[in-house]
Amino acid sequence: MSPSGIASTLPLSGFSEIADRFDLCLCDVWGVVHNGVAAYRDALTALTRMRERGTSVVLVTNAPRPAEVIVGQLDRFGVPRAAWDAIVTSGDVCRLLIRERAGEPVFRLGPDRDLPLIAGLDVRETGPDEAAYVLCTGLFDDETETAASYADLLAGFAARGLPLICANPDLVVERGGRIVPCAGAIGLAYEEIGGRTIYAGKPHRPIYEAAVAAAEAARGSPLARDRICAVGDALRTDIAGADAFGVTGIMVLAGIHAQDLMQASWDERHGWFRRQAHRPAYAMPHLTW
- Residue 21 is classified by DSSP as G
- The domains of the chain are located at 10-91+203-284, 97-199
- Residue 117 is classified by DSSP as G
pLDDT band for 178, please (50, 70, 90 cuts): confident
C-beta separation of 102 from 122 below 8 A: yes
pLDDT digits (tens, 9 = 90+) for 127-140: 999 999 999 999 99
Beta bridge partner(s), residue 248: 229
Spatial separation of the C-alpha atoms in residues 181 and 20, rounded to whole Å = 37
Q: Which residues of 38-49 are buried (b: 16+ CB within 10 A; e: fewer)?
A: ebbeebbbbbbb
- Residue 261 is classified by DSSP as H
Average pLDDT, the chain: 94
Question: Cα angle at 101 between 95 and 104, to 5 degrees?
Answer: 120
C-beta separation of 128 from 107 below 8 A: yes
Q: In this structure, is the dihedral angle defined by the CA atoms of residues 213, 216, 221 and 224, taken in order, positive or negative? A: negative
Spatial separation of the C-alpha atoms in residues 47 and 81, rounded to whole Å = 10
Spatial separation of the C-alpha atoms in residues 229 and 215, rounded to whole Å = 13
Residue 169: the pLDDT is 92
Is the domain defined by 10-91+203-284 classed in CATH 2.60.40.1180?
no
pLDDT digits (tens, 9 = 90+) for 228-283: 999 999 999 999 999 999 999 999 999 888 888 989 999 999 999 999 989 999 99
Q: Which CATH number fits domain 97-199: 3.40.50.720, 3.40.50.1000, 3.30.70.870, 3.40.50.1100?
A: 3.40.50.1000
Q: What is the pTM of this model?
A: 0.85
Residue 176: the pLDDT is 80
pLDDT band for 158, please (50, 70, 90 cuts): very high
